[in-house]
Amino acid sequence: MDPILKKYGWNSFFEESFKDYPDGYEAGRVSIEYKNGFKVLTKDGEVRGKVSGKLRQTGIRPSVGDWVVILRDDSRTASIHSILPRKSKFSRKDPGRVAGEQVIVTNVDHVFIVTSLNRDFNLRRLERYVAIAKESGAVPVVILSKSDICDDPEERRKEVEEIAPGISVHVISAIKNTGISELMDYFSAGNTVALLGSSGVGKSTLINMIMGYERQKVSGIREDDDRGRHTTTERELILLDGGGIIIDNPGMRELQLWEAGEGLKETFSDIEELSRLCKFSDCKHDTEPGCAIKKAIKEGTLSEKRYQSYLKLQREFLAVEMKKNIGLKNMEKKKWKQISKYANQIRKNKEKGI
């Protein structure tokens, strides 16, 4: 396996889907998305990648983090022929389309869910982020930041561990430089970490500390101005000196539960398990007798707030699913409209003898 690609996160999973490509095709990882192209890291350095006509037709666009298959035009430019299957994927509803999916980043191994130990601390929001992270296929890690301004960080840690069983929780302070060296274990060679969290929780500060220097804002880099290209996002996949990969990730703030069926179930596995104990298999956990959820709430083994949070996220998820279906139906309608228009045209041409 190529040692340089390995540094960028290449592994047997991607190798397996790449192995049947003929000679001349190369694998590379998308590190930045520009308005009309991508920066792709290859074993021979960076190239500027453009999506091939065939890939464009599929409607699937590469995202930061993707492993892509390229054919070079020359040493610095290449066309992107395909996207290798993704190990994990963060997406949200495309703000520009009714029910379009916008993939934000892919192939993330660990996602740091950062929340600060001040007013931002909110167990319900954490549950939501954990569900999104689980659904993506990445492993969630909770980072409780700014412990220096919290009276009882260990108490908060316990609360988080309760709602997110099995998930690692780290308490850190950038000011006091505590808890950060433990995070370095996640930056082993080839492992990709992305950060998720509200504005102001200290994500940039943490990235700077991990990188060991004050990183320039990606948006400030305008290396392509001379050719009229600009970065469209501030997202960048960065290789750390000590190995490991970090995706600096402003866009992840507005993530919705785009796809969260399994992620939601896993996050609330306690509730899912309880509901299996209800007397009726279609129990609405409302007024039915023998309801295990109502019983657990009454006995204090399940918190009412957690149950409400579960219901809320489930409603949100169902609403998105509905929108998706409406979007699909509209797409279908449009397609048939086009087909009948085309058929009419053919008929008219025939009548005219064209």
Q: Which is nearer to ligand GTP, 247 or 274 (CB)?
A: 247
Is the sign of the CA dihedral 99, 102, 108, 112 positive or negative? Answer: negative
DSSP string, 8-57: TT--HHHHHHHTTSPTT-EEEEEEEEETTEEEEEETTEEEEEEE-HHHHH
Which of ligand GTP, Zn ion, none does 201 bind, CB closer than 5 to 8 A by kind? ligand GTP
Note the residues at the interface with ligand GTP (CB under 6 A): 145-146, 148-149, 173-175, 197, 199-205
Nearer to Zn ion by C-beta: 312 or 337? 312
Instruction: Answer with the entry of ligand GTP, Zn ion, none that 309 interacts with (C-beta below 5 to 8 A by kind).
Output: none
The one segment of 10-18, 43-51, 59-67, 287-295 that binds Zn ion by CB under 5 A: 287-295
Q: Which is nearer to ligand GTP, 47 or 201 (CB)?
A: 201
Residue 283 interacts, among ligand GTP, Zn ion, none and using kind-specific CB cut-offs from 5 to 8 Å, with Zn ion
Task: From 138, 183, 102, select the one nearest 9 (Cα to Cα).
Answer: 138
* Residue type for position 301: T
Return the residue of 291, 297, 302, 313 that touches Zn ion, per CB under 5 A. Answer: 291
Q: What is the DSSP letter of 200?
A: T
φ, ψ for residue 279 (rounded to 5)? -60, -40
Q: Which stretch binds Zn ion (CB under 5 A): 153-161, 202-210, 275-283, 337-345?
A: 275-283
**Cβ-proximal residues to 26 (8 Å cutoff; 6+ apart), any chain:** 42, 43, 69, 70, 71, 72, 78
Site for Zn ion in 50-109 (CB under 5 A): none
Distance of alpha carbon 216 from its chain centroid, rounded? 23
Contact 145, 115 (CB under 8 A): yes
Residue 282: how many other CB atoms lie within 10 Å: 6
Q: Toward ligand GTP, which CB reaches closer, 149 or 339?
A: 149
Q: Give the gyration radius of the chain's Cα atoms.
A: 24
- Report the residue count for the chain: 354
Nearer to ligand GTP, 167 or 210 (CB): 210
- Which does residue 244 touch among ligand GTP, Zn ion, none (CB within 5 to 8 A, set by kind)? none
Our measurement of the distance from residue 71's CA atom to the centroid of its chain's CA atoms, rounded to an integer in Å, reads: 27
In the list 247, 285, 310, 313, the residue contacting Zn ion (rule: CB under 5 A) is 285
Binding partner selected for residue 146 from ligand GTP, Zn ion, none, CB under the kind-specific 5 to 8 Å limit: ligand GTP
Question: Is 293 near Zn ion (CB under 5 A)?
Answer: yes
Q: How far is the CB of 57 from ligand GTP (least distance, A)?
A: 36
- Torsion over CA: 75, 77, 82, 84 (sign): positive
Select the span of 88-96, 101-109, 238-246, 293-301 touching Zn ion (CB under 5 A): 293-301
Q: Measured from the CB atom, is 104 or 278 closer to Zn ion?
A: 278
296 in contact with Zn ion (CB under 5 A)? no
Q: Report in angstroms the alpha-carbon separations of 42 from 15, 39, 165.
A: 14, 10, 39
In this structure, are residues 260 and 131 in contact, taking their beta carbons and an 8 Å threshold?
yes
In terms of CB distance, is 205 or 256 closer to ligand GTP?
A: 205
Dig out the tokens for 231 from the structure. 């970065």
**Interface mask toward Zn ion for 198-217; x: CB under 5 A:** --------------------
- Residue 173 binds which one of ligand GTP, Zn ion, none, with CB within 5 to 8 A depending on kind? ligand GTP
Q: How many residues interact with Zn ion (rule CB under 5 A)?
A: 5
Given 117, 283, 302, 313, the residue binding Zn ion (CB under 5 A): 283
Residues that bind Zn ion (CB under 5 A): 278, 283, 285, 291, 293
